Each structure stands twice: as C-alpha cells, then as structure tokens.
Amino acid sequence: MASTSDLRVEKLFSVKDYVCVVTGGGSGIGLMASQALAANGAKVYITGRRVEALENAAKSHNPNDGGQIIPLGPCDVTKKSDLENLYSELSSKEKYINLVICAAGISGTKAEPNEEKATDLKEKLWSNETFEQWGETYNTDVTSVYFTTVVLLPLLQAGTETHGHLSASVIVISSMSGIMRHAQGHFSYNAAKGATVHLTKLMSAEFQKIRIRVNSIAPGYFPSEMTTSESDENQKSYVPDEKIQEKGHVPMGRAGRDEEIAQAVLFLTKNAYVNGEIIAVDGGVLNVVSGR
C-alpha cells in the first residue's frame, strides 16, 4: 500500500534510468515523446531515415541534467534489414529496453471526396491515388509498427525482467483519424491508422504472455512535418491557431502542444495496469466528428 509520499509526481512519473527507443524521433510527435522521456531521466535512442534530422534533434533538445537523446541510424522502418541492424546495434549497447514508441509515419495521398456526381467523384479518387501509394502508406503506418515491435521483443522482455511485471511496453502513435468516420480526404491514411489502432489491440493481447504491454496514443492536430511539411532548425513545426479554427470541428481551437503529448507518454509508460488502450489526445474533435 502506498504512503502519501509515494504519490508525488516525481515518483509516479519518473523514468530515470529507463532505456527507450523512438522511431520517427527526429521531429513531430516522436520528438515530443523523446523530450518528455529524456526530461524525466530516460536514455532515449531516436531513429529515422534522416541522420541530419536526428542529430539536430539530439543537439537541440538534450536536457542539461539526467536523461539523454541519442541519435541512432539511419533506419528505414519499412525494411527488415534496417530493423535487424537496429536490433543488433541496440543489443551491443544495452541489455534491455523499457519502452518502444512507434512514431514513424506518413500521410499518404489526399483527394477530397466532395463531388456530388458519381462520375466526377470516381474520376477524382481514381486518378489521384494508386495501389502503390496505398501500399506505401500501409507499410509505413501499420506494417512497420508490427515488425519494429517484433524485432525488439527480446530487449523489451529483458526490460520487464529488470523492472518488474508488465513494466516494459510499446506505445504506438496512431491517430484520431483511425477512429473517426470522416475521411478528411485521406482514405488511405485513415484506413491505415484504423488498422494501426486494431494492431495495437492485437499485440497487447498476444504479447502480454511475455509480459509486455502495448497501448496507443491517437493524436489530433499536432504540429509536425507531416502536417506542416517543414521543421525549423530545432526540428520543430508550427501550426497557427487560425488554421485549426478554420476546420470548424476542434473545440479547443488550437493545435495540440508538446506538453499534452508528454503527459500521455509518461502516463502510458509508467502505469503498468493499462494495456490495450487507445488514448485520444485530440482537443475534443471526436466529440464533434463521428467515430465508430
């Protein structure tokens, strides 16, 4: 039974001495998650396809005390060979991992289905998208999550053995888009994120046998390279409030903030009694736009 002093925030959410891996950790939500972990004492390996982005992120956002952000890569999470190399490199440096965050993703093609004649709608959707583009979106947003998690399972299980039952976990960055019925002009992306949501549930049920939890954060509109197509010299992106307000379905009237991702990451990392959950951090969008 916990004493009152055991319930202090610094005890509840400290990740001091945790070893974490974040894919897509060089920008956007992956970087927000990495900062949150490093700021609270974790050693965080970030990986991605662009070495310069990883190095910029580490240089700009390493905390002055405690944790670390360490670039590792390049790694293309859609290639088994890259993932095997990632596992080998991590295994040479660490005996265990406490947390993997799968944040790498792409938005895919866009075609707004706003035509009122079927012939016009067909022409727009047919000509703007291909099987190959759908495949690329699915491989990056879904299949890579599966193989990234699978390749790191031995290190994750070692993390549970080090820190206690079901303490090691995976956090999948899905999206509110995988829960809602509004296509947003992104049929391939929303369908892929719906699959990511379900994959999270499948892995949570199957991997609890080896004492690894799997949960997901489903973000709403957050500034990232995927939403703004750019990052500044610190690997950060910006979305003006007016851009969000124009959408007409975001009760908060602004994009999400780094701190709001950080709070969700620390909660799922530390609460060993949560498994298989999808936590929407969306500013209330799913109260306005119909979900499933």
Residues annotated as catalytic (active site), given as ranges:
174, 189, 193
CA separation, residue 214 to residues 9, 172, 250 (Å): 23, 7, 28
Q: Please give the structure tokens belonging to residue 125.
A: 């959707």
Residue 291 DSSP symbol? B
Helix axes of 131-138 and 187-207: crossing angle, nearest 10 degrees: 30
Kind and range of the H or E run holding 57: helix 51-61
∠ CA 258-217-186, nearest 5°, is: 95
Question: Which residues is 22 bridged to in the sheet?
Answer: 46, 101
Q: Look at the alpha carbons of 277, 48, 108, 249 in this order and tell me if their dihedral is positive or negative.
A: positive
CA distance 291 to 273: 26
Q: Look at the alpha carbons of 180, 36, 79, 96 in this order and tell me if their dihedral is positive or negative.
A: negative
φ and ψ at 43, to 5 degrees? -95, 120
User: Does residue 63 have a cis bond before it (omega within 30 degrees)?
Assistant: no
SS3 281: strand
Strands of the sheet containing 169-173, edge to edge, are: 68-71, 43-47, 19-23, 99-102, 169-173, 213-219, 278-281
Q: Please give the structure tokens belonging to residue 4.
A: 């009152």
